Structure formats: C-alpha cells, structure tokens
Amino acid sequence: MEMDTETRKRRIYRVTFAGFAVNCLLAAGKLAAGLLGRSGAMVADAVHSFSDLATDVVVVAFARVSAKPKDEGHDYGHGKFETLAAILVGLALVAVGGGILAEGVQAIRRVVHGGELARPGGIALAAAAVSIVVKEWLYRYTVRAGRTLRSPSVVANAWHHRSDALSSLGTLAGIGCAYFLGPAWRIADPIAALLVAVFIFKIAFDQIRAGLDELLERSLPADMEQEILRIVTADPAVRQPHNLRTRRIGAAIAVEVHIRVDGEMSVRRAHALTVDIERRLRARFGAETMIAIHVEDAKG
C-alpha cells in the first residue's frame, strides 16, 4: 500500500534524526579518542563524522520542501528539491574526501622528509573498531529506508554513512599497523587514508551524476520504459503506443505516452481505458506517478 506524502516525510525525518543522534555521539567520541590517543587519523575520522551531521540537516530541510504539494509556480510539485539535496550530499562527500586526501599527503611528505609519526594510543584503535560497526549498521538501516521510501537524498545520506565506515576501516588498519608494528609501519595510516579518499570520491561522483541526470531530464532506464509499455498495452484495445517520454521527479516518475484506439470507440470508453492504464501504472510505480496519455485514432 502506497504511503501519502505526509507519512513519507515523517519517515524520512525519523530515519534522518536517528542518524543525526548516532553521529553526534560517535563524532564526539571519536574526537575525544583521537585527542587522547594522539591519533591524527582518528581526529580526521571524527571530522568526517561531523560532516555527516551537516548532511543530515540538509536532508531534513529538503525533505520538508519536497513534500509540499504542487502550487501555481510548481505544476509538477517540489520533488526535485530532494534531488538537489542528494547532489549537495555528494558535494559534501567530495569535500570530506579532499580533506582526508590532503591530510594523508601531508603526513606522507612528513615521513619522506625524515619525520616520524607519533604512535597512536589503544583508545584510538578501539574507537575505530566501534565506529566501523556502528556506521555500517547505520548505513544498512538508512539505505533500506531510503529505498523503501524511494528517496534519493536518504539513499545518498546512507552512502555518506558507509563512507564514514570505510574511512574508519582505513583508520583502523593504519592505527593497527602503527600501534603493533613499530615506527617503520606508521606510514600505513596516511596511505590507508588516501585509499579511503579515492573510494569516497567514487561514491560522491556517482551521487552527483545521478542527481544531475535527473535535473537534466534524463529518461528512465530502458528496462523501466519497456515495462511501462507492457503495462500500457495490457488491454488489447490499446494499439501502437508511441512518443513515450519519461523522467524522474524526486521520488516520483512522470510518464507521457500516445496510444491509438479504434476510431469508432466512444469518448466514455476511451476515457475509461486511459483511467485503467493510469491505475495500473500507479499500482506499479507509486501513487504519485504523473501520467499524461494522448489518445489517437488508429486509422488516423
């Protein structure tokens, strides 16, 4: 059963506020562990977690806007504000990855020029392990909700959580080498950070590309369009569907299609036919699916 716009907005708020609360506690704990454990990698990881707080705020703010119904200036509603939020989350990921990359390069240069990285404390190692478990759980919780709600901004935020888990994984590997294997291995910390930064960049660019595709009116994938045509032609009275146009608007999709029917068909019957097509499309793709069907004479 499809949920209404208000219910969807409340569920987006709930999952995002849960992530916000967890991030607050986790970021504060990692910052304390990094300072007490003399670990620059853990401090950087804490900064990454603090960036999640900012993206949580972005998601909540844009969910409120995107939930507004259509008005005089927005005939198709406000769904693309949510797409914009997903792009902003992706840009935040780029900034986070850039910060981690710069910090790692600086640490490696310090070692190359004869410097020595400090041995981190055990508290930093433990904090990294806890962060991986908590953030992976938060990713799975958030991405499941985002896919259920068909919310691109919530899914993007889930990947931000996973990027934090991967950052902590690299931090754990680097701190572990520095802690257990001695000074010669302490360079593993910034090297791991560079690898994590590359992965974060990939996630960010994927999010940004998907958002830009939507803003630039990219058509739905070919398999979805074929499924739409199968639904449209399920009634044998419908002939030769053509001029199919599709796009995504936030969590909803828009479908425009021309169909041909027997020219002797009554207006009432043709109208009932299009209403039935709309019902089947909304049953498959959601109650908020926007549909425009143009009926033509099959002999015209």
φ, ψ for residue 217 (rounded to 5)?
Answer: 65, 40
Structure tokens at 95: 């900034």
The predicted structure's pLDDT at residue 246: 95
Report the number of distinct structural domains present in the chain: 2
Q: Do both 204 and 230 map to the same domain?
A: no
166 and 286 inside one domain: no
Shared-domain flag, residues 200 and 293: no
Q: Looking at the structure, tell me whether residues 32 and 165 fall in a common domain.
A: yes
* Residues 235 and 114 both lie in one domain: no
Both 241 and 124 in one domain: the answer is no
In this structure, the answer to whether residues 165 and 231 fall within a common structural domain is: no
- Name the domain boundary from 169, 199, 215: 215
If asked whether residues 76 and 143 sit together in one domain, one would say: yes
Name the burial class of residue 222, with classes exposed (0-12), middle (13-18) and buried (19+) by CB atoms within 10 angstroms of its CB: exposed
CB 142 within 8 Å of CB 158: yes
pTM of the model: 0.66
Across the strands, what pairs with 242?
258
Domain boundary among 215, 234, 249: 215
- Per-residue pLDDT, 17: 85
Instruction: State the pLDDT at residue 115.
Output: 77
Do 177 and 86 share a structural domain?
Answer: yes
> What is the domain range of residue 65?
5-215
pLDDT, position 1: 45
CATH number of the domain bearing residue 277: 3.30.70.1350
pLDDT along the chain (300 residues), means of 10: 69 86 90 86 76 70 70 71 81 84 85 79 90 93 90 82 82 85 80 77 86 87 95 93 90 90 92 95 88 88
Of 215, 248, 268, the residue that ends a domain is 215
Q: Are 212 and 257 contacting, i.e. CB atoms less than 8 angstroms apart? A: no
Closest CA to 134 of 52, 40, 195: 52
